[in-house]
Amino acid sequence: MRKLLLLFPILGMLVSCTPKPMAGGGLMGVSNSKVKETVPYGMVWIKPGAFMMGPNDQDAFWSYKGQSKMVSVDAFWMDQTEITNAQYRQFVVWVRDSITRKLLASANPEKWTMRRDTSHLNWERPIPWNRSWTKASGEEDPVKDSLWNCLKDYNNHFEILDYQYKWLDIEQAAKECNKFDRSLGRYPSNSYALVDDYYMDNGTIKIRTKRISPIHSMNDFYMTKIINAYPDRLAFVSDFTYSYNDPTTKYFILNAYDRYPVVGVTWEQANAFCAWRTNYVNRKSGYVGQDYRLPTEAEFEWAARGGKQQAMYPWGSPYIRDAKGCFLANFKPMRGNYRADGAVRTAQVASYPPNGYGLYDMAGNVSEWTESAYLPVSANEMSDLNPSFTYNAKASDPDILKRKIIKGGSWKDVAAYLQCGARSFEYQNVSRSYIGFRCVKSTNLRRITKTNY
């Protein structure tokens, strides 16, 4: 009883401290319950800051573009490791299952779509892979039966795994001529957008670039993209001629390589993965957050330095070995003794010590795609606030506009490419056996709502 008497005054104080709505129409604010930020699974929070972007005390490539500049970067979340084969395989399998469910829904919509909304597929019902197409769908169709068998054996029939998604071309939307005129309540008469429209024609991906003018809404800046999701299994073979790399054709398939970084993916496939991951997480969590995307060059370099301003390498030391003489990354040491660092080609992610932010393999193992387009200019030509030159090249653009910056160096590179300030490029539609990627997610909040996806 005495404890209850002591509890009443405390409850009274709590009640009295609870804010009450202001009288007279005071502004209380409106919370958007559908838009929240959560702690993304498998990611590390990278604090905001400023640093000297570019080479350190030496430019390994002796070029005029190697200049340093003080830049500021916002906070963001970043994958702790490169995207692995197992993680990317989840994307590939989802694409396979999505195509399969669409086939089943066309034959039996009541069973394979959500009853409250027939446009949404029913992902709760398991796919009966052990049955034939006739038994699973209830109809006979030789064409669909053939496709059904191909989907079962998707590793040998990767050509059918096409993923379609939409992305917003912010660069076009932000042009001066495309700014919404609020005094007139419409877009200017000279507003326009060049939109890549991907579509399927007899099983072949076709592309057409349309000009939309004038702009009617933000929806006009959305591009439709269709990309084959499967990685290039012959990347190791085609990258190194007169070299026996045939066993690596099973690199993406075998479970032994689940924890190895995915390779053989183009910049376009990496962006498709980011779009899929965004939609997948939003659907699972039930609300919309920041999009997953590739890091900018500045974000990657800031994260790679691990909080050490003038770090030549992510581990902070100007040397590539630790005090015991062990190599600190997977690269090409000792004039080509690939095995000296512990791995002949790629290594399992997180095999080497993390940097100051807890990120693994920010140098070595595989080079990584960034969002930034490549131009042979220094950081001085860009803004000093979240600098990045971004351009998603159209299919009709010349190859010089399709170059994207890769960072970090790889298992086949010498130590100079492992430096935090080093940069190189590859074409956005080209896949390599030494290029992978990881995702980032913008945020300024370190402590935010936790969730389970």
pLDDT by 10-residue block (mean), the chain, 453 residues: 51 52 70 77 94 76 68 96 98 97 92 79 93 92 93 94 92 92 94 89 85 93 93 95 92 97 98 96 85 96 93 91 94 93 96 96 98 78 86 84 96 94 94 98 71 49
Distance in angstroms (rounded) separating the CA atoms of residues 280 and 298: 27
The pLDDT value recorded for residue 121 is 92
- CB burial class (10 A; 0-12, 13-18, 19+) of residue 451? middle
pLDDT of residue 289: 83
Give the tokens for residue 81. 């490791």
Classified as helix, coil or strand, 215 is coil
Q: What is the pLDDT of residue 127?
A: 96
Cβ atoms of 196 and 209 closer than 8 Å = yes
Give residue 265's pLDDT. Answer: 98
**Do 169 and 223 meet the contact criterion of CB atoms below 8 Å apart?**
yes
- Structure confidence at residue 396 (pLDDT): 79
Q: Which residue has the tokens 């974000």?
A: 299
Amino acid 377: pLDDT: 66
What pLDDT score was predicted for residue 388? 87
In the numeric block, which tokens belong to residue 365?
């193992």
Q: From the centroid of its chain, how far is CA 119?
A: 27
Joined together, the tokens standing for residue 5 give 């008497």
Separation of alpha carbons 71 and 211, rounded Å:
36
Residues 6+ apart with CB under 8 A from 372: 296, 297, 298, 388, 389, 390, 404, 405
Q: Which regions of the chain carry the CATH code 3.90.1580.10?
A: 38-84+287-453
Distance CA 38, CA 453 (A): 10
Q: Cα–Cα–Cα angle for 343, 301, 92, nearest 5°?
A: 60
- Torsion sign (Cα): 253, 259, 260, 266: positive
What is the pTM for the complete model shown?
0.90
Fold observed for domain 38-84+287-453: paralog of FGE (formylglycine-generating enzyme) (3.90.1580)
Element (H, E) at 84: none
Q: Which of 29, 10, 32 is nearest to 21 (CA)?
A: 29
